[in-house]
Amino acid sequence: MSYIHLTIEKRSQIEVLRKEGYSIRRIAILVGVHYSTISRELRRISGEYSAIVAEQDAIKKASNKGRVSKFTVPIAAHIESRLQQTWSPEQLVGAELVGKLSVKTIYNWLHKGLLKVDATVLRRKGKRPSSQEKRGRYAVGRTIKDRPHEVKTRKVFGHWELDTVVSSRGKSKGCFATFVERKTRFYIAIPMKDRTKESMFNAMSSLHTSLTNKVLKSFTSDRGKEFACYLEVERLLGIPMYFADAYSAWQRGSNENSNGLLREFFPKRTDLSKVTIQELTESLLLLNNRPRKCLGFKSPFKMFKHEISMI
């Protein structure tokens, strides 16, 4: 069972169950966490366990996380003075005039604007922090935190994860739009001529035409520029879209895993624009008919077919 941060709701459950005399392992099962999490939580609070006290304590400790900055106004003024005199950060540190700072720390302060010195006074400018990704940025709609709880539990059929599988950089713009149904792990890939929002919307429309809104209850995607079509998807197709947090591929784990399985048939550096519909269909049939351990060794196709028959 993966680690889960306790919320005030879960802590309230723990408080009630503890007062009713439930064991730690039984509480863990009912709350949905590992028993060691409950054990640590109870040890953390002295005396009778209180959800409010535990929550306040957790917030206080979270606020103290991270290293304490060594930045002070006197140290900054001294560094600024020496840099203006053409000293290098390395000379400052080597002469032991700035305490236990590192050369990298001085460069970081400089690039963050904490030191009121123009970087042109330095002979070597230092390595700047990596720039943020700005390609295709857009204002996302609802985030994964707004997603109904039923999606997370995987107990309700019809909620999908989305992504793209692309060709080797510079080789071709051809790619696949990929869709995974969270409960059954049923996997679909649709060819696209390029990774634009227009092509992605056409792929979603194609899927919507093949299936119905009863099968397509929600989409969860990353923040790629191809999903900037989410407003049209919600307005024209009636399917709500939710966006995972940045750099959090694990929030769409089923899709990431399935894309990796598809790469067994179409490795990286493959020009996906040259993949025929027959080749793609044969690969998807093999993937969807494999038994999965997470499905009790049933196949995604068999599970998907069963869910369709229940609608």
* Pick from 73-77, 125-129, 261-265, 278-282: least confident: 125-129
What pTM does this model have? Answer: 0.59
Q: Hunting for tokens 């969270």 — which residue is that?
A: 182
Alpha-carbon distance of 23 to 179, in angstroms, equals: 42
Q: Are 297 and 188 in contact (CB under 8 A)?
A: no
145 CA to centre of own chain: 11
pLDDT tens track for 115-131: 888 777 777 666 655 55
Other CB atoms within 10 Å distance of the CB of residue 41: 22
State the Rg of the chain over Cα.
26
Residue type, 143: T
pLDDT surpasses 70 at 269 = yes
- Assess if CATH 3.30.420.10 describes domain 142-309: yes
Domain limits, the chain: 8-63, 73-121, 142-309
Q: Quick one: what percent of the chain has pLDDT higher than 90?
A: 57
pLDDT surpasses 90 at 226 = yes
Q: Are 271 and 171 in contact (CB under 8 A)?
A: yes
Residue 127 exposed, middle or buried by CB count within 10 Å (0-12, 13-18, 19+):
exposed
